[in-house]
């Protein structure tokens, strides 16, 4: 039996794999789980992004929470890290985010934070899953009546508290900086423009008119070309792009070059080292980090630690060892001095702070790291496990590794949130990488789709 929760909550196409009935049961299960452990009417905070299905799933979650005697607090559209922050601020026992992050609008997801602001451990998710299964078997399981029925409270004013918190994470003002901001028509569309304007930046907006179906549609951190063109056209100092739920941030420097998560980590590591704030002079990243990242960290006289792909694994390492900076090439950056999860808004402010404090342009900071050519191919498959374990796939990977030798590397991994196998190759020659990646991808496509 497959696990209900994936690597980042429960995801699927809205009203297909992710039906409101499932959202209702998840709401009930959460209220029962947290109610049993913390308080009779557990306060559960709910935020969402701008997808057309968000209100439908929220209504179902609220109904489920109230039917189990919980106290649902709806904060409306808000970045994912905003829920993680507010859960602690208002002393809720849990937070729920309705979002599928960078996925297309027709997908959605439901993920949980504990009262401490951290994503739930696997064991807790499994317990909630068990309660969901019990509700499926017995619809009358644990249904309070009368005054014990739960209630819902609408608190869209709490977004302002999150905005104030984000602003408090920098001591700099950004007067004189022209910033092109792409909000991906997602959860940051209201909050981030207010943050930058209050800090004095001149803001040119893109992706700030969500209509329910245009989230991540040719905009945001997964479609960054339009931002690049606008930065060059406006002669801006920097471009900032978030994904749909705004836990990620990528940038474009004033010359039109990408500033990905690897480069952002280097900029922030230097900023923190200059003031003695980088714990143990260590940055945590994943196996996807570019070879150039490792060289740049060494040039800073710092060190790095490598985890498997996924922000939860980066965070686990950081918490275990007391580190305070880590992240992924995708732009999911974690500053544990400020937040319990990746926060794209805080990340953007730290990049701007690095510019202000150093007196350097975005491109000058970007040049602290040289990116080696990297090719990434996403292969859509029906069976991710078979695609990876097939002998022909293994042979293609081995041959590619033999060809690259010590000058490069190959990484093949299944996506935790989509029916994809990702093939990545890195080395000094892009044509060679293209050929090797395409050969491996072709074998994965055949094996994973039974061709």
Is 105 domain-assigned?
A: yes
101 flagged as catalytic: yes
The catalytic position among 53, 67, 99, 101 is: 101
Give yes or no: residues 361 and 378 share one domain: no
CATH code where residue 425 lies: 3.30.310.50
Is 104 domain-assigned?
A: yes
Give yes or no: residues 72 and 186 share one domain: no
Give yes or no: residues 174 and 318 share one domain: yes
Give yes or no: residues 131 and 190 share one domain: no
Last residue of a domain, one of 327, 349, 366: 366
Q: Give the pLDDT band (50/70/90) at residue 309.
A: confident
For residue 76, pLDDT beyond 70: yes
Q: How many CB atoms lie within 10 A of CB 9?
A: 24
For residue 417, pLDDT beyond 80: no
* Tokens coding 229: 């063109």
Is 5 domain-assigned?
A: no
Last residue of a domain, one of 366, 396, 415: 366
Give yes or no: residues 288 and 378 share one domain: no
pLDDT (0 to 100) of residue 2: 67
Q: How many CB atoms lie within 10 A of CB 276?
A: 8
* Tokens coding 393: 């796939």
Give yes or no: residues 350 and 381 share one domain: no
Domain count, the chain: 3
pLDDT (0 to 100) of residue 104: 96
57 with 23: CB under 8 angstroms? yes
Q: Mean pLDDT of all residues in the chain?
A: 95
Give yes or no: residues 142 and 174 share one domain: no
What are 89-127's pLDDT values in tens digits?
999 999 999 999 999 999 999 999 999 999 999 999 999
> Which structural domain range is residue 441 located in?
374-448
116 with 340: CB under 8 angstroms? yes
Query: In the predicted model, what is the mean pLDDT of residues 388-412?
Result: 91
CATH code where residue 120 lies: 3.40.120.10
Give yes or no: residues 322 and 359 share one domain: yes
Last residue of a domain, one of 160, 193, 219: 160
Separation CA 137–CA 62 (nearest Å): 21
Q: Give the pLDDT band (50/70/90) at residue 310.
A: confident
Query: In the predicted model, what is the mean pLDDT of residues 155-183?
Result: 97
What are 273-287's pLDDT values in tens digits?
999 999 999 999 998
Residue 216: HSE in the Cβ half-sphere, 13 Å Cα cutoff:
21
Is 71 domain-assigned?
A: yes
Q: How far is CA 416 from the centre of its chain?
A: 13
């Amino acid at each position: 039996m497959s696990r209900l929760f994936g690597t980042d909550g429960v995801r699927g196409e809205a009203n297909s794999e992710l039906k409101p009935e499932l959202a209702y049961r998840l709401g009930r299960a959460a209220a029962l789980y947290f109610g049993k452990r913390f308080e009779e009417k557990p306060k559960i905070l709910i935020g969402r992004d701008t997808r057309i299905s968000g209100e439908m799933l929220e209504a179902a979650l609220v109904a489920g929470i109230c039917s189990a005697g919980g106290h649902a607090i709806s904060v409306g559209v808000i970045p994912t890290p905003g829920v993680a922050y507010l859960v602690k601020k208002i002393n809720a026992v849990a937070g729920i985010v309705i979002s599928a992050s960078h996925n297309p609008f027709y997908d959605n997801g439901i993920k949980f934070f504990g009262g401490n602001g951290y994503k739930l451990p696997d064991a807790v998710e499994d317990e909630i899953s068990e309660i969901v299964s019990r509700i499926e078997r017995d619809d009358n399981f644990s249904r309070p009546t009368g005054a014990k029925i739960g209630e819902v409270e609408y608190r869209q004013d709490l977004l302002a508290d999150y905005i104030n918190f984000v602003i408090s994470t920098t001591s700099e003002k950004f007067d004189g900086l022209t910033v092109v901001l792409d909000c991906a028509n997602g959860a940051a569309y209201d909050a981030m423009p207010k943050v930058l304007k209050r800090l004095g930046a001149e803001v040119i907006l893109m992706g700030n008119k969500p209509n329910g179906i245009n989230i991540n549609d040719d905009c945001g951190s997964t479609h960054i070309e339009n931002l690049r063109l606008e930065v060059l056209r406006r002669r801006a100092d920097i471009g900032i792009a978030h994904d749909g739920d705004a836990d990620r941030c990528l940038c474009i420097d004033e010359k039109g070059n990408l500033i990905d998560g690897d480069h952002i980590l280097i900029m922030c590591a230097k900023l923190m080292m200059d003031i003695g704030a980088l714990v143990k002079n260590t940055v945590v990243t994943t196996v996807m980090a570019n070879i150039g990242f490792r060289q740049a960290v060494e040039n800073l006289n710092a060190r790095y630690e490598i985890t498997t792909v996924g922000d939860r694994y980066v965070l686990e390492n950081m918490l275990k060892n007391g580190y305070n900076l880590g992240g992924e090439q995708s732009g999911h950056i974690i500053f544990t001095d400020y937040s319990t999860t990746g926060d794209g808004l805080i990340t953007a402010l730290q990049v701007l702070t690095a510019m202000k404090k150093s007196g350097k342009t975005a491109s000058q900071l970007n040049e602290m790291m040289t990116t080696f050519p990297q090719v990434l191919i996403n292969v859509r498959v029906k069976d991710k496990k078979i695609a990876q374990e097939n002998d022909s796939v293994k042979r293609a990977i081995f041959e590619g590794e033999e060809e690259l030798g010590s000058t490069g590397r190959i990484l093949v991994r299944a996506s935790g949130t989509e029916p994809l196998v990702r093939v990545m190759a890195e080395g000094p020659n892009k044509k060679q990488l293209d050929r090797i990646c395409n050969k491996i991808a072709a074998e994965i496509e055949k094996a994973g789709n039974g061709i």
